[in-house]
Amino acid sequence: MADIVSSGLSLVSVSQWLQRKGARSVRICALLDREDARIIDIPLDYVGFKAPDEVLVGYGLSSYPQFSEQRCIASIHETVEA
């Protein structure tokens, strides 16, 4: 289970490790899929939603812990002050 799949690199590593350890099959379930950010083509068996390549917060996502308790997933835009 993955929350957000972007490049696919981590999932390929984990899938290969599981197969080396004797897993007969590996199925991948992701809440959010950033297909446009994929570096390695790895098939996802179950996908909740397609996701934009933006900073996403809420619903337990931990990039910005202050927003992790939000009851929805939202994108935020950082502002840089001069």
5 closest CA partner among 18, 26, 37, 17? 37
**Distance from C-alpha of 54 to C-alpha of 76, rounded to nearest angstrom:** 8
Q: Residues 25-41: pLDDT tens digits?
A: 999 999 999 999 899 98
Burial of 30 (0-12, 13-18, 19+ CB in 10 A): buried
Strand, helix or coil for residue 53: coil
β-strands 74-76, 55-57 pairing: antiparallel
* 4 plus 39 within the same structural domain: yes
* 36 plus 61 within the same structural domain: no
Q: Give me the number of domains the chain comprises.
A: 2
> For residue 81, what pLDDT band results from cuts at 50, 70 and 90?
low
Query: What residues make up the domain containing 35?
Result: 1-51
Q: What percent of the chain has pLDDT over 90?
A: 50
- When the pLDDT of each residue in the chain is averaged and rounded to a whole number, the result is 86
